[in-house]
Amino acid sequence: MSELSKMTIADARDALRAGDVSAVELTEACLTEIEAADALGAFVHKTADLARARAAAADARIKAGDAPAMCGIPLGIKDLFCTEGVPSQAASRILDGFRPEYESTVTQKLRDAGAVMLGKLNMDEFAMGSSNETSIYGDAVNPWKVDDRKLTPGGSSGGSAAAVAADLCLAAIGTDTGGSIRQPAAFTGIAGLKPTYGRCSRWGIVAFASSLDQAGPMTKSVRDAAIMLQAMAGHDAKDSTSADIPVPDFEAMLTGDIRGKVIGIPREYRMDGMPAEIEKLWHEGAEMLRAAGAEVVDISLPHTKYALPAYYVIAPAEASSNLARYDGVRYGHRAKLAQGDGIVQMYEKTRAEGFGPEVQRRVMVGTYVLSAGFYDAYYNRARKVRTLIKKDFEDVFADGIDAILTPATPSAAFGLGEMSEADPVQMYLNDVFTVTVNLAGLPGISVPVGLNGKGLPLGLQLIGRPWAEDDLLNTAYALEAAAGFVSKPAKWW
């Protein structure tokens, strides 16, 4: 049974349709693996009974000949997505006990397609983190291990990445505000796609930074990412930022033929102190694409150096506004009050108890940059920088560039506690290669390409034109085939 949970979505879909396996068998295999993997801290709310019921319903649909590609596929759901009747806490104490009476649009689309929800996955609190160490549930742990050190699976979608890499589920969904799908994917040796802003609805996703957040698939292969995005994407009238444009058949576009495509290598991403193994992997990735028939050229994205500071002004500013709604009045955690305390004390105590240190830090930074006297100096200036970053990408795409190749992360996975105990800015630097994509609203994908000297996975990032996920996925498919990455973590949990 344990072999079933190792299947890809594509293989499982074909096996389900052929009658070689049932959705119930697939689901039971995953539930068995989940029960044995508490050491990874990936699943924080298990929904075994619900999963079995949905698997049985999926088998009935398949038997009746009504089987979309995702029908019967067992998935993990990041705790940032609202799921009807199931705890949805964004890994925060402030939302303790919150069980939504509605389903997020993305999870509803997957549910309608017959996918099976196995449970909710760990994450950094309110998606604020790059190591999954700010969660009220405790750390998520990377299934890859070296020297008996426990490593981060990345963040904020760390539980999603760990669950997919450890074969606890066939795939998972995450969200990406500044790299929270792509960085964990790179740290755990899986594929992670952040779609164009507006491709997937944000309705029912607990908001971090509304102009940056985007849902996406985290999968065992690029083909799986294409299949899953097909089910997740589409216009949603409930989300004013959702794009009313057609959703192509992403899987049908996976030919692997990238002859004549032009791949840009941005010189600004060659940063001082970049590890030699990252530089080497980047060069090898470029050579793989060139060998596949693409033209590889140097390009310039001159405002890249301003991206990280601009992001860490804009994102906290939006977070401070979004998180103002959590006050303990209608739902979630409410602090116990002393005699004589009024509503102000209730707000103060509830928020002080409900939000963790990193969330408090970002809310305070965000409130500061939006305050009178600092709004123009910080927030407005960051917005102007964002416009310049977006124009950099528009210019290179207008010059004929089809995709851009960069490292996904500045290093392999680091040890739990190594960064969180240092200056928080060191942690923020993990997003150096990914935040530009969110600021510009572009699609980006992390593809596992190799191992470092200690045997840990490393990924490369491909950035595509807006709304051209089909082209981006095909380029990633060619890179994946050339790299031939098949390594899996040795089971220790």
DSSP letter at 196 equals: P
Catalytic residue among 92, 156, 201, 420: 156
Q: Euclidean distance between the first and final Cα of the chain, in Å?
A: 18
Catalytic residue among 78, 120, 145, 261: 78
Taking CA atoms, 391 is separated from 271, 304, 441, 490, in Å, by 21, 11, 11, 44
Is 391 one of the annotated active-site residues of the chain?
Answer: no
Is 63 one of the annotated active-site residues of the chain?
Answer: no
Please name the residue that has the structure tokens 């299947």.
7
Taking CA atoms, 338 is separated from 344, 345, 353, in Å, by 12, 9, 15
Question: Which residues make Cβ contacts (< 8 Å) with residue 92, sequence separation at least 6?
Answer: 125, 126, 136, 354, 355, 356, 359
Tokens of 207: 């908001």
Is 180 one of the annotated active-site residues of the chain?
Answer: yes
How far, in whole angstroms, is CA 254 from its chain's centroid?
Answer: 22
Question: Which residues make Cβ contacts (< 8 Å) with residue 339, sequence separation at least 6?
Answer: none
Question: Which residues make Cβ contacts (< 8 Å) with residue 470, sequence separation at least 6?
Answer: 248, 250, 253
- Residue 461 φ then ψ, to 5°: -110, 135
- Cβ(245)–Cβ(235) below 8 Å: yes
- Cβ(383)–Cβ(303) below 8 Å: no
- Report the C-alpha gap between 127 and 335 in whole angstroms: 23
- Cβ(307)–Cβ(439) below 8 Å: yes
Tokens of 150: 């426990």
- Peptide bond preceding 180 in cis form (omega within 30 of 0): no
Q: Where does 292-416 have alpha helices with state H? A: 307-322, 343-354, 357-369, 381-398
- Report the C-alpha gap between 12 and 399 in whole angstroms: 41
Residues classed as catalytic: 78, 156, 180
